[in-house]
Amino acid sequence: MSRPRSYVMIPIDANSVINGAREVKNRFSAEIGKRGLSDEFKVIETGSFGPSDCGVLAAVQPEGVVYGNVKTSDVAEIVEEHFVKGRKCQKFILPSDKKITLPIADASSALSLQSAGRIVLDNCGKIDPESIDEYIADDGYVALGKALTEMTPEQVITEMKDSGLRGRGGAGFPTGLKWSFCAPVKSKEKYVICNADEGEPGTFKDRLIMEGDPHKVIEGMAICGYAIGANMGYIYIRGEYKLSIQRIQKAIEDAKKYGLLGKKIFKSKFNFDIEIKIGAGAYVCGEETALIESMEGKRGMPRLKPPFPAQCGFRGKPTNVNNVETLANVAPIIRNGAKWFHNFGTAGTPGTKVYTVLGHINRPGLIEVPTGVTLREIIEEYGGGIKKGKFKMAQLGGTAGDIMGEEMLDVPMDYDAMQKVGHTLGSGAILIMDESIGVNDFLDACMRFFLHETCGNCNPCRNGLKIISDITGRLKAGKAYSDDINAMEEVSMMLKASAFCPLGQSPAAPITSALRYFRKEMEAGVDPSINREIRRNNRNLIPLAS
């Protein structure tokens, strides 16, 4: 059979499935077949294109034409006009202001040709994520072969250190250094864990990475396993991520069939296998030791550190835990080299960053940009600007992230630059808010989330979050006591210093950053007619009735 003249690329992800993407795909196949054009036009599934507000998308490649908000009832007309009569069906073409990044496009289309700047999402929109053959055809598993046949484990770790890759789950810890902690530990059993829990509200980048390019994550895990001396890997994934689970499972099975997982991979002495562990949706299990507890069948509660997982992790054995996005960077780095990776981003934070951009913007969705771009660039160039009104604030990194005012719009978004101004980059969620959102309302929603998700393991978190949530509730209602804001700040800092794990420590970030930029607005929630004494002791802060 000859090569098809064009491909109809239908992004299939959890959001598009809800909008009817599978039905649209099937209708395209039926309409093309009805006209005897199946040899000329092939309909295939691919990963997310990025936008989350355009309904079902259909990209015709290599022409670079993208149809948006496609319904099954539209397909016959598109096929007749575009594929039979040879002219674009203008009324369904996605508006040019919708910025979509695809690997193949022509300059006159609605597509934005920026594939040279993509690392993690490079295959999304280009290959069928359920086809291992298409992944291999695009240099898939070349990096694993290179590592196993041309490099020692020590050289792999050195390459990762030289690349400067930092953990993309939020902490920003150097990946190669983390691997080096686990590699020298002597043990017959070691484990690689991919943290795909992704419980941070507003964050769904890891889901779309797994749905769009599952083999890239698997290849990264196998390379990590070789580097640290592990023979078993686990992907701990949220139970709600049905499509991700399905695609990862198929990718694992296909990799085993091709001898890319299992025994003596690439005829080497390296054996490595991967299994999926499904989580129950606890936010605290995003913390690596709580995740490990959950994997062992226990209640997901953080462990005391040290010992760290690199010495004593899953089943008491040395364990390396990395985020999905972090692992998706590994194969490109090994394949192309550490120097190549430094062509992207900044000196201190090389590479790219994948963000989910949500809120009061014209183009919400998924983007991958070089590290160091500013929040203003993301809002205006990638998000299409504020829908109406003016920018007020953004929360960077999900509910546990900092709330930032307009003063931060032009600060480069990399780990070092953000740290210099007292902020963190976070997990990859950016929530943009206009002037219609009240700071006290938003902060109360954040604190109620933390209170709901606390595991109750330690007293500072268990009781401190209740106190803070009560205060933000009063601020929201305009009935806060005169000492409430000072008390809230003091309790949040106490939590940051003494809570057992990052969940309890996290509320300090949104609270202190909100006070930094919006203290006057927050103080408007205080009722000056109410006096309140605050009794302080060495254990807690307890508001007393006046």
- Domain count within the chain: 4
Range with the lowest mean pLDDT among 17-21, 144-148, 355-359, 532-536?
532-536
CATH number at residue 21: 3.40.30.10
**Do residues 364 and 186 lie in contact, with contact meaning Cβ atoms separated by under 8 Å?**
no
> Is the previous residue joined to 62 through a cis bond, with omega within 30 degrees of 0?
yes
Neighbouring residues of 458: CB distance < 8 A, sequence distance ≥ 6: 498, 499, 500, 501, 504
State the pLDDT at residue 224.
98
Cα–Cα dist 505/3, whole Å? 56
Q: Kindly write down the DSSP assignment for every residue of 355-394, as one continuous string.
A: EEEEESBSS-EEEEEETT-BHHHIIIIIS-SBSSS-EEEE
Of the two residues 234 and 462, the one the predictor is more confident about is 234
CATH number at residue 505: 1.20.1440.230
State the pLDDT at residue 542.
44
Residues 82 and 220 occupy one common structural domain: no
Range with the lowest mean pLDDT among 176-185, 224-233, 390-399, 526-535?
526-535
Residues 283 and 305 occupy one common structural domain: yes
Residues 388 and 258 occupy one common structural domain: no
Last residue of one domain, picked from the residues 314, 341, 368? 341
Residue 310 within any structural domain of the chain: yes
Residue 126 within any structural domain of the chain: no
Greatest mean pLDDT among 110-119, 193-202, 334-343, 498-507 lies in 334-343
Residues 290 and 376 occupy one common structural domain: no
Range with the lowest mean pLDDT among 86-95, 253-262, 426-435?
86-95
Residue 11 within any structural domain of the chain: yes
Q: Is the dihedral of CA 359, 361, 365, 366 positive or negative?
A: negative
Structure confidence at residue 97 as a pLDDT band (50, 70, 90): low
Residue 347 within any structural domain of the chain: no
SS3 480: strand
pLDDT at residue 113 greater than cutoff 70: no
Residues 276 and 361 occupy one common structural domain: no
Residues 379 and 277 occupy one common structural domain: no
Cα–Cα dist 230/188, whole Å? 9
The H helix count followed by the E strand count for the chain is 21, 17
DSSP code at position 425: -
Residues 400 and 499 occupy one common structural domain: no
State the pLDDT at residue 534.
45
Q: How do residues 304-328 score in pLDDT, each as one tens digit?
A: 889 999 999 999 999 999 999 999 9
Location of structure tokens 């599952």: 214
Location of structure tokens 């810890």: 173
Pairing of strands 191-196, 319-323: parallel
Residues 421 and 469 occupy one common structural domain: no
For residue 292, the cross-strand partners are none
Cα–Cα dist 480/212, whole Å? 47
pLDDT at residue 106 greater than cutoff 70: no
State the pLDDT at residue 52.
81
CATH number at residue 207: 3.40.50.11540
Residues 165 and 314 occupy one common structural domain: yes
Residue 296 within any structural domain of the chain: yes
Residue 104 within any structural domain of the chain: yes
Q: How do residues 293-310 score in pLDDT, each as one tens digit?
A: 999 999 989 998 899 999
State the pLDDT at residue 1.
47
Please state the pTM of the whole predicted model.
0.87
SS3 track for 20-72: CHHHHHHHHHHHHHHCCCCCCEEEEEECCCCECCCCCCEEEECCCEEECCCCH
> How many Å is the maximal CA-CA distance in the chain?
84
Residue 121 within any structural domain of the chain: no
Last residue of one domain, picked from the residues 434, 459, 489? 434
- Closest by CA to 324, choosing from 220, 196, 235, 208, is 196
Location of structure tokens 């009061």: 360
Q: Which amino acid is it at 321?
A: V
Cα–Cα dist 111/63, whole Å? 10
Q: What percent of the chain has pLDDT over 90?
A: 66
**Do residues 396 and 414 lie in contact, with contact meaning Cβ atoms separated by under 8 Å?**
no
Structure confidence at residue 103 as a pLDDT band (50, 70, 90): very low
DSSP code at position 4: P
How many residues appear in the chain? 546
State the pLDDT at residue 222.
98
Residues 11 and 71 occupy one common structural domain: yes
pLDDT at residue 172 greater than cutoff 90: no
Residues 443 and 428 occupy one common structural domain: no
Q: What percent of the chain has pLDDT over 70?
A: 93
Residue 125 within any structural domain of the chain: no
Last residue of one domain, picked from the residues 322, 341, 360? 341
Residues 225 and 265 occupy one common structural domain: yes
Range of the domain at 136: 132-341
Mean pLDDT for 17-21 is 90
Q: How do residues 389-428 score in pLDDT, each as one tens digit?
A: 999 999 998 899 999 999 999 999 998 899 899 888 888 8
